[in-house]
Amino acid sequence: MRDDVLNKHSHRLRQPADPEGDASYTASLASAGLPPVLRASARLTNVLGRERPVILQEERITMTRTVTTIPEILTPAERSQLGATHRIHELGKVCNVTPGYERIIASGLEPSRSAAVDGLRSASRAERDFLTAVVESIDAVYGLVDRYADEAERCGRPDLSGALSRATRTGATSFLEALQVFRVLHFALWASFNYHNTVGRFDLYFWPYLEADLRAGRLDEAGALELVEEFFLSFNRDSDLYPGVQQGDNGQSLVLGGIDRDGEPVWNLLTDLSLQASLELGLIDPKINLRVSTATPLSQFVTGTRLTARGLGFPQYLNDDVVIPGLVDLGYDEQDARDYAVAACWEFIIPDSGLDVPNIAALSFPNAVDAALREHLATSSTFEVFMTRVREEVTRQANELAAETQGLMMEPSPFLSVLMTGCIERRRDASEGLRYNNYGIHGVGLSTAADSLAAIRHQVFESPDLHVDELISALDSNFEGHDDLRQHLRDDPPKMGNDDDRVDLLAADLLGTFAEALAELRNDRGGRFRAGTGSAMYYVSAAQELGATPDGRKAGEYLSANLAPSLGVKVRGPLSLLRSFTKLPLRTAINGGPVTIEVHDTVFRSANGVEKVAMLVQSFVRDGGHQLQINAINHDVLVDAQEHPELHRNLIVRVWGWSAYFVELDKAYQDQIIQRVELVPA
Amino acid sequence: MVLTAEEARQVATTGKDTLGCVLEIEEFGVHDGPGIRTVVFLKGCPLHCSWCHNPEAISFGTEMLPDQVRCAGCGERCLATGSCPSCGQPVPPHESAVGELISAEGLAARVERHASTLTASGGGVTFSGGEPMAQARFVIAAASELSPLHIAVETSGHVSPAVFRRVAGAVDLVMMDVKHTNPEVHRTYTGRTNRLILGNLKQLCEGSTPFIVRIPLIPGVNDGRDNLERTAKLVAGAPALRGVELLPYNTMAPAKYARAGRVFTPGFDTTQSPRIEPSIFERYQIPCEVL
């Protein structure tokens, strides 16, 4: 089955793409005069209606995409009209949330349908449209599962049909049924054009089903592992069709461990089976996130590190000790904060009740430093005066980015609304907002900015030999004819990643300023703004917009991804590197964005090395780090993979918040990874 | 304590103070003892093992050595000594200092930043080399400065018995190489016989400082069953023995030799893989790990 997925066997069953058909379908929706929410349910009915049921041999968790494209519900003219008056984020869809799978897996869709039908009796016009769209969407899903059930019967697989038709309606009664219902819901969300549909806390909400099966003797551990593996494989079947910046950026993150809403630890047999399944399969999806804390025993870090050693670029570690209080500070209810999951990459979001948009914008720290240096460096009498100007610039840019979020508009998502708590009761589509409507702003290039400030202090203020005009002209000429100066800027001032307060505290200052600037602001959905430490893909785009920087970086050279030393910087070692970043005010900038390190793959060759890396992760957690992702990497292998991609089809790397097959990435992303600081052991 | 002339020479190699000649301080040694460890590589070694992975650590004292650069002509990495050996293009000479004299206090100040991390993981500091016992005074002073951190030493054992006893008494773990049990074979591949080494091994076996025996497995040199069996017999039953670690030889970049101004003459077939038989030690109830 794994080979079938890797060789993309099921792709042969796909129907040909039909862009003209999609466009004319959109036009027909518009000319029918339907409101957007009813267009959304009509589209789901149309897409699922065109799906041809596929039962693959031996599979027990079914559903395979055959329709490869999803038509839009607004015509290009309508979309550009909307764009003129509203803020459209990414593709304009509700995305990057953790749906409340737990509720629907338990109850099935029928209670939601009944509630919507009941609500119709006393609904206003807008409410009626929404509730009608909900009923239509659920009926579209029923239509699909019933056709799948018929196909299963036809293929001599009556074992599948009950789970599909019954459990989808009235809830799962076994672990396998729960997995199948998840697959149905997940499948229907993608067909609704919702994307980056994250999995959430798998070992928390699936455990009761597995536990009951084990107790009743319906399933043993080996059987459970097989099911988890089959379930994980299902995430890799259609993922090439999911929208993302690069292949692999598909949002299928899964969270394990941590504590439950009442504060009790979650780690259970399903946690272990999930990690084992991921280790045995060695595939990029689902992407594993491990919630840990100071209470986590070393053995669990060792289990996690075995996955890292497999070269998967995950697990990503999330530290409850920092994240939960940070979320509470931002106004999240404590029980909800304890229940946090991650969005597509690393942004902390709340399942079921959160409609945060955690990646609405990005602030480029090097850009703020650059603006301040051009405006104010020449007139700053001391470095402290200059830093005040830099803080003002960071604050100004943060305010500007926040103001630009006004008028956010997302496409109605009636089916997703079924999976988000309170939508049917409030008779309002999830796209209009939920309990949590906070916006996250990434913070990009922190190391480059801090290194630049340290260089300015060192070269301009502490040693009198560099005049501001010379610095600016060197930057403007991209260091042409200023090789010596560039060498000094690269070699002499302290660099982030060496546990050196002279530069680390500048980074802390920048990040704290950013968080403080956003703290009092409110968005027009009543939500707050969250400062973040992630870069997303901006480490490429922000770098392209940036000229040469005072740390000696030339124009066009990449920034580091998330929190990491600037590319090419020599660091003392992993302890110093991690300490540089745990000094930051991470709790106040808790949108998400991990410290990202690359450890040479030879470290992982022995059990001893694996244990040492696990200890390193544990010490990061003890020191108050919020989030960490580790690439087991080998520079030579990456270079060879660029030259001979055919020999490295299965080489996996962590990009900015997700794992991908290296050879499927665009060259810019490949090059940036090759240039990252590689930690080689003593 | 009265030192013999040789002891005095060894203890005083780096001067009258407790200065150490340090090649490098590396965070996060993977195979250098328990927990997270900072490894202090000391410069200078009395042995000249033909397979040495750290040729820059052989000679005592700081020195200027040419840097590795990328040749502007052909793109190959080469030493900045005047011209590129691959394409003949001029490569402007450029040197940097190798080795740094550090006081015991200075070393402690550098390491102490991470003391809590080292301790919390059950780790500490490991002195390696080079031969750390050739700078015994520094190691003892530094161990005392670093107290209560866990201190380990990685040694060839080729030092006088008195120096060995003092260092072993000042640290928490000794990791000692036993490269060959035969004195003449030992001399062929390391330049010295194993007389001092086997004597010091006996001290460890009779003493109370926890120790680990390490064997760099060199194909065709010391990976034979006889040699390993004899090694096992030497240490079997020692109360302070924690185990044996086998380090299979792997090929290394000869460029390091060129930089150190040395020629790599291994004297054995570097294309072979060594035989790895931990069961030999397990038969003597000695825990054995392959690193």
Contact residues on chain A for B120, CB-CB shorter than 8 A:
618-619, 622
| Contact criterion met (CB < 8 Å) for A682 and B30 | yes
Torsion over CA: A100, A104, A105, A106 (sign)? positive
DSSP letter (8 states) at residue A599: E
Instruction: Please give the radius of gyration of chain B, using alpha carbons only, rounded to the nearest integer.
Output: 20
Q: What is d(CA A649, CA A3) in angstroms, rounded to the nearest whole number?
A: 13
Residue A305, Cβ neighbours under 10 Å: how many? 28
With a cut of 70, list the residues of chain A below it in pLDDT. Answer: 681-682
Which tens digit of pLDDT belongs to each residue from B220-234? 999 999 999 999 999
State the pLDDT confidence band at B254, using cuts at 50, 70 and 90: low
Structure tokens at A255: 């969270």
User: Which residue does chain B place closest to A605, by CA atoms?
Assistant: B291
What's the confidence (pLDDT) of residue A682?
60
pTM of whole model > 0.95? no
Q: How near does any CA of chain B get to the CA of A323, in Å? A: 21
Minimal Cβ distance to B30: which of A499, A576, A612: A612
**Interface contact A122, partner B, CB < 8 A:** no
Interface size A-B, in CB pairs within 8 Å, comes to 64
Minimal Cβ distance to B120: which of A574, A576, A619: A619
The complex's ipTM works out to 0.86
Contact residues on chain A for B113, CB-CB shorter than 8 A:
499, 576, 579
Q: What is d(CA B68, CA B78) in angstroms, rounded to the nearest whole number?
A: 6
What's the confidence (pLDDT) of residue B287?
96
Give chain A's largest Cα–Cα span: 84
What's the confidence (pLDDT) of residue A269?
98
Contact residues on chain A for B27, CB-CB shorter than 8 A:
572-576, 682
What's the confidence (pLDDT) of residue B268?
87
Cβ within 8 Å of residue B14, ≥6 positions away: B20, B21, B60, B61, B101, B135, B137, B138
What's the confidence (pLDDT) of residue B2?
36
User: Which residue does chain B place closest to A620, by CA atoms?
Assistant: B117
Q: How near does any CA of chain A get to the CA of B186, in Å? A: 26
Residue B122 CB burial class (10 angstroms; 0-12, 13-18, ≥19): middle
Which amino acid is located at A369 in the chain? Answer: V
| Contact criterion met (CB < 8 Å) for A681 and B29 | yes
Residue appearing with tokens 């919507």: A116
Q: Which of residues 16-35 of B touch A (CB under 8 A)?
A: 25-32, 35
Q: What is d(CA A371, CA A394) in angstroms, rounded to the nearest whole number?
A: 10
Q: How near does any CA of chain B get to the CA of A490, in Å? A: 17
**Position B255 pLDDT exceeds 70:** no
Torsion over CA: A78, A80, A83, A84 (sign)? negative
What's the confidence (pLDDT) of residue B4?
44
Q: What is d(CA A74, CA A91) in angstroms, rounded to the nearest whole number?
A: 12
Interface test with chain B among A619, A635, A636, by most B beta carbons within 10 Å: A619
**Interface contact A574, partner B, CB < 8 A:** yes
Which tens digit of pLDDT belongs to each residue from A616-645? 999 999 999 999 999 998 888 899 899 988
Contact residues on chain A for B25, CB-CB shorter than 8 A:
572
**Interface contact A166, partner B, CB < 8 A:** no
**Interface contact A612, partner B, CB < 8 A:** yes
What's the confidence (pLDDT) of residue B251?
64
Contact residues on chain A for B152, CB-CB shorter than 8 A:
none
Q: What is d(CA A603, CA A552) in angstroms, rounded to the nearest whole number?
A: 31
DSSP sequence for A450-510: HHHHHHHIIIIIISTT--HHHHHHHHHTTTTT-HHHHHHHHHSS--TTS--HHHHHHHHHH
**Interface contact B36, partner A, CB < 8 A:** yes
Minimal Cβ distance to A612: which of B25, B36, B113: B36
Pairing, β A348-349 against β A529-531: unpaired
Q: How near does any CA of chain A get to the CA of B236, in Å? A: 24
**Interface contact A619, partner B, CB < 8 A:** yes
What does the pLDDT average to over B12-25? Answer: 74
Q: Which of residues 111-140 of B touch A (CB under 8 A)?
A: 113-114, 117, 120-121, 123
CA A632-A638-A640 angle, to 5 degrees, is 145
| Contact criterion met (CB < 8 Å) for A608 and B26 | no
Residue A493 CB burial class (10 angstroms; 0-12, 13-18, ≥19): buried
| Contact criterion met (CB < 8 Å) for A619 and B121 | yes
Q: Where are the domains of chain B?
A: 5-62+99-290, 63-98
Q: How near does any CA of chain A get to the CA of B182, in Å? A: 30
Residue appearing with tokens 């086998």: B246
- CB-based contacts of A208-213 (< 8 A; 24+ apart in sequence): A209/A172, A209/A174, A209/A175, A209/A177, A209/A178, A210/A175, A210/A269, A210/A270, A211/A268, A211/A269, A212/A174, A212/A175, A213/A174, A213/A175
Q: What is d(CA A650, CA B245) in angstroms, rounded to the nearest whole number?
A: 33
Q: What is the overall mean pLDDT for chain B?
A: 89
Q: What is d(CA A137, CA A415) in angstroms, rounded to the nearest whole number?
A: 6
Residue appearing with tokens 């504590």: A259
| Contact criterion met (CB < 8 Å) for A579 and B291 | no
User: Which residue does chain B place closest to A579, by CA atoms?
Assistant: B114
**Position B253 pLDDT exceeds 60:** no
Minimal Cβ distance to B120: which of A574, A608, A622: A622
Q: Where are the alpha helices (DSSP H) in A73-174?
A: 76-85, 101-107, 110-120, 125-154, 158-162, 168-170
Q: How near does any CA of chain B get to the CA of A599, in Å? A: 11
DSSP sequence for A119-140: HHTT--HHHHHHHHHHHHHHHH
What's the confidence (pLDDT) of residue B8?
44
Which tens digit of pLDDT belongs to each residue from A4-49? 888 888 899 999 999 999 999 999 999 999 999 999 999 999 999 9
Q: What is d(CA A276, CA A310) in angstroms, rounded to the nearest whole number?
A: 11
**Interface contact A609, partner B, CB < 8 A:** yes
What's the confidence (pLDDT) of residue A581?
98
Minimal Cβ distance to A573: which of B27, B32, B121: B27
What's the confidence (pLDDT) of residue B36?
95
| Contact criterion met (CB < 8 Å) for A682 and B29 | yes
What does the pLDDT average to over B256-271? Answer: 83
Residue A311 CB burial class (10 angstroms; 0-12, 13-18, ≥19): buried
Q: What is d(CA B228, CA B244) in angstroms, rounded to the nearest whole number?
A: 11
Q: What is d(CA A130, CA A112) in angstroms, rounded to the nearest whole number?
A: 13
Contact residues on chain B for A615, CB-CB shorter than 8 A:
35-36, 121, 123
| Contact criterion met (CB < 8 Å) for A616 and B28 | yes
Q: How near does any CA of chain B get to the CA of A611, in Å? A: 8
Q: Where are the domains of chain A?
A: 1-196, 198-320+598-662, 362-405+438-593
Q: Which fold has domain B5-62+99-290?
A: TIM Barrel (3.20.20)
Q: What is d(CA A438, CA A526) in angstroms, rounded to the nearest whole number?
A: 8
Give B275's Cβ-side CA count (13 Å radius). Answer: 12
Q: Where are the alpha helices (DSSP H) in A206-268?
A: 207-215, 221-234
| Contact criterion met (CB < 8 Å) for A681 and B28 | yes
| Contact criterion met (CB < 8 Å) for B290 and A606 | yes
| Contact criterion met (CB < 8 Å) for A573 and B39 | no
Residue among B130, B76, B125 nearest B104 (CA):
B125
